[in-house]
Structure 1
Amino acid sequence: MAKNKSASHHIRIISGQWRSRKLPVHDLEGLRPTTDRIKETVFNWLMTDVKNARVLDCFAGSGSLGFEALSRYAQFTQFFELNPQAAKQLTTNLATLNCDNARVSQGDTLSLLEQPPAQGFDLVFIDPPFRKGLAEPVIQQLSEKKWLANDALVYVETESELQHLATPTHWSLLKEKSAGQVTSRLYLVQAVK
């Protein structure tokens, strides 16, 4: 039986104001929601850093990471998503949650990062489609175009075979963990002297 590409699945919010809420997501090619296990690890790493943070979710997809941050009282979340169907679902899910402190921008992340923001972000999620070489150019854009607040935290999720990730010299690797096909890294971006 052929797989229905528009079939719906769910992501689950682990903790915070919307704990245990399930949100629908489309089954779209390349969409790979962060698993609950990985999400739990990431948010354990970020436990004291989410509340009141300005969050940027660079490859939002299902919105799993961004919604988790909002549930844990992030001040604001900006979602970037290329796929129009996925972007529409993010907007619908925000409305379902009565959430007005988030915005969805539909488009190519590298293009969206061209225009510097009015204010830097405290926490950034980079979880691109695997094996497309997108993590490093996004990291470069974030640094060059001043998307990051002082002492920002950047979470990067890549395929495990990507052993080395080129980052600016003022980025310090705080945490790293590999599980199956996924490697998770957390960086602290120090102010450039």
Structure 2
Amino acid sequence: MTRRRQQSGRNQPDHRREGVVRIIGGRWRGRKLPVHDVEGLRPTTDRVKETVFNWLAPDLYQANCLDLFTGSGSLSFEALSRGVDSVTMLELDRQAAAQLEKNRQTLGADNARIHQTDSLAFLDKPGTPFDIIFIDPPFRKHLLQDVIARLENNGWLAPKAIIYIEAEKELGLPETPAHWHLFKEKTAGQVSYRLYERDAT
């Protein structure tokens, strides 16, 4: 997961370590980007990321992506490296968002937009449709169902949107609208990750 961190931004540690994420495919393959460490941050492993982007390969061209709870930006920068049209990143933690902006500038990714904001609050307002959505909320904060409802009800999803959900395995299958069809699913350790396709026809 690109994740991920506490959504609330409370009681963050005073001394934070710096880490890196690696882009594993596309035009920036092999590039390493610094990550500002925040409590609860769990960047998506290379193994999971490779699987996910193999799944997504047919859908990346000209896609507009929305990355909720962006954290390290691992999924966003990977998608940009592999040729999506644009990525919108939402990250609550101020320092993590600042690092995302530095990494965006380092790569020259002019088609990335970073919002330092609460993802649920952002989704509360009417939206514009996205083709691919990455959902990797902080574990055990019970945010997933609220995210799904806001995406569906507030116009954030293209008719055939692809939705990636990464969550703790113990949750099992999330409740999703009837026209969200699960077509890929795997588990790695304590994490389950899934792809859904929305069929609004």
- TM-score w.r.t. the length of structure 2 is 0.91
Contact kept, 8 Å, 2:37 with 2:96, in 1: the verdict is no
Give RMSD over aligned pairs.
1.2
SS in 2 for 1:104: strand
- Which of 170, 176, 196 is 1:187 aligned to? 196
User: Any conservation in 1 of the 2:44–2:74 contact (CA below 8 Å)?
Assistant: yes
Q: Is the 8 A contact 1:5 1:27 kept in 2?
A: no
Instruction: Quote the Cα distance in structure 1 between the aligned partners of 2:92 and 2:15.
Output: 17
Partner of 1:38: 48
**Of 151, 167, 180, the match for 2:160:** 151
Tell me which residue corresponds to 1:9.
19
**Shift in Å, 1:168:** 0.7
Deviations 1:103-132 (A, max 9, x none): 011111110011222x31000000111111
Gapped regions of structure 1 (runs ≥ 5) = none
Aligned length: 189
The letter of the residue matching 2:25 is S
Q: Could you list the runs of 5+ residues in structure 2 that have no partner in the other structure?
A: 1-12
The separation in 1 between residues aligned to 2:109 and 2:53, in whole angstroms, is 20
Higher share of residues assigned helix: 2
Distance of 2:85 and 2:182 partners within structure 1: 25
- Alignment partner of 1:49 is 2:48: no
C-alpha contact (below 8 Å) 1:159/1:182 kept by paired residues: yes
- Specify which of 84, 96, 117 is matched with residue 74 of structure 1: 84
> CA offset at residue 134 of structure 1?
1.1
| Conserved 8 A contact 1:154-1:187 | yes
For 1:5 and 1:95, the matched residues in 2 are separated by 25
Give the residue type in structure 1 aligned to 2:54: N
- Normalised by the length of structure 1, the TM-score is 0.95
In structure 2, C-alpha distance between the alignment counterparts of 1:25 and 1:180, rounded to whole Å: 23
Aligned amino acid, residue 137 of structure 1: D
Residue of structure 1 equivalent to 2:143: 134
Residue of structure 2 in register with 1:25 after alignment: 35
1:176 and 2:185 aligned? yes
1:59 — aligned with what?
69
CA distance in structure 2 between the partners assigned to 1:63 and 1:5 by the alignment: 21
In structure 2, give the amino acid aligned to 1:180.
G
Calculate percent identity across the aligned residue pairs.
55
1:110 aligns with 2:120: yes
CA distance in 1, matches of 2:126, 2:62: 21
Give the number of the structure with larger relative contact order, counting CA–CA contacts within 8 Å between residues 6 or more apart: 2
- Regions of 4+ moved over 6 Å: none
Cα–Cα, structure 1 residues 5 and 52, in superposed 2: closer, same or farther, change >3 Å?
Answer: farther
Q: Displacement of 1:69 after TM fit?
A: 0.4
